Each structure stands twice: as structure tokens, then as C-alpha cells.
Amino acid sequence: MKEEIIGPGRGTILRKNNQKELKIFLDSNHLDNIFLINGNNFYSQNLRKANLIVKPNDYYMLINKNHEEIEVNYSNDVSNHRTIYDPYKFELSEKAKIDPILFKKKYNVPNGFLDVLNKWYSIKFTYSDYSLIYIKPGIGISIQTHKFRSEIWRILKGNPIIINANKVYYFVEAETKFINDKLMYHSIMNSNNDLEQYVIVEERWSGNFNEEDIVREYNPNNYS
């Protein structure tokens, strides 16, 4: 495969390049509305053609922020590139919300939480001054920002891929911390294939904590 069509608001697979340099070709009119992961860099603005060269063995992914589909062309066949994370792996699957009671028993969630936010792809238990977020294997939460709060993430388990501002961190080890300041892009991807390997993140915050504060710039779990 040397070309790919990306619909509005959708992305490609996060792939690992092989041992040859890869060039990505896009219409220059679309560059202002593309998110790009290229190696350890996350480009959210001021994308240039020079940024579309992927080094051997680096990771790459494109997200279409345009209101129309775009055509992506590659210098090499990417069909044999390793899939690291497929944002649409569960697009056609049942989307039943996680049962908090069953989940708490199975995964030994600490007592004392004050609130639960359960979705089909993640569940959050909120305590007085922190939250525990559990993310299903093969799932990534939205690339998002907050207007009125900042967060500190501490990775507890699962070796996730983290977007933090303009950087991407792969297979992060437990006890690693990230500061997500106001208006800073951030996201978590659980690339584990083992169905029991949830990513667990401790989240602490400052400012106005409100789920309505989230601006989801790319949400692969809201399938269209």
C-alpha cells in the first residue's frame, strides 16, 4: 500500500517504519489541519514537508483535522509496517459500558472513591484528591486539552504510549510522571494485546475540575 485516504476527523494506524526512510506526501493545502506523530515528535501546528520524512524504525501516524477527506501517498509500501496501535480496532464491536462493581472486584480497585465515570473503553474512579484511570488494552483516549485545569499523571501499570505537549513517549514505565498544563495536548494509548493488561494512571489536578472542561481534538472512540 502506497496511498491511503483519511476521512474527516479520522487517523491512520500508528505504525513502525521498517529499515528504509519513508517520505509522506500530502497536498500542501492540508498541512495546517494535520496532526502528525513522527518518532518522538507530535506536530499539532506549523507542519512542514520536512516533518513528513520518517526515519528507519521510527513510529508514525497522521490525523486528519480537515472537514474533507485527504489523500496520503507514501514513498514505500507501508502494508508490511508493524501496527503499534489501531484507533479503529473496535469500531464494529459492542460498546457496553464497564460495570464498576464487577470491575472493582476483579481488579482490586481501592475503596473510598467518591465518583465513577465508566465508559466502554475506560473507567475512572475519583477520590478526594486524585483519580485512578483504567484504560482497556488496544484503546487510546482522545487527544485533548483543558482550558481551566492542569493535571499530573503518574503511570502505575501497563507501559502506555503518552502524548504530552509536542512529544510522544513510548512504552512508559511505572512511576513515570507527566505534567499536562492548561491547553497542552495530551493522550494515553494502551497498545497491549493482552486483554487483562489495563493501563492504570493516577491523575491529580489543580484548577477547576470538570469533565465539561475537556476539548477533544481527536476522539477515535466516538466512531463515525
List where CATH 2.60.120.10 sits in the chain: 3-85, 100-218
Report the residue count for the chain: 224
Digit-coded pLDDT (tens) for 128-138: 999 999 999 99
Q: Which CATH class is domain 100-218?
A: mainly beta
Question: pTM higher than 0.85, yes or no?
Answer: yes
What's the CATH superfamily of 3-85?
Answer: Jelly Rolls (2.60.120.10)
Q: Residue 54 has what pLDDT?
A: 98
> Are 61 and 11 in contact, with CB atoms under 8 Å apart?
yes
Digit-coded pLDDT (tens) for 96-108: 999 999 999 999 9
Q: How far apart are CA 34 and CA 11, in angstroms?
A: 10
Q: Residue 212 has what pLDDT?
A: 72
Q: Residue 149 has what pLDDT?
A: 87
Digit-coded pLDDT (tens) for 25-46: 999 888 999 999 999 999 999 8
Instruction: Match 509496517 to its residue by C-alpha cell.
Output: 81
The segments of the chain whose pLDDT lies below 70 read 209-211, 223-224
Q: Residue 209 has what pLDDT?
A: 65
Q: Residue 29 has what pLDDT?
A: 87
Q: Residue 221 has what pLDDT?
A: 85
Neighbours of 69 (CB within 10 A): 11
Q: Residue 131 has what pLDDT?
A: 96
Q: Residue 224 has what pLDDT?
A: 37
* Eight-state DSSP code of residue 55: P
* Percent with pLDDT over 70 in the chain: 98
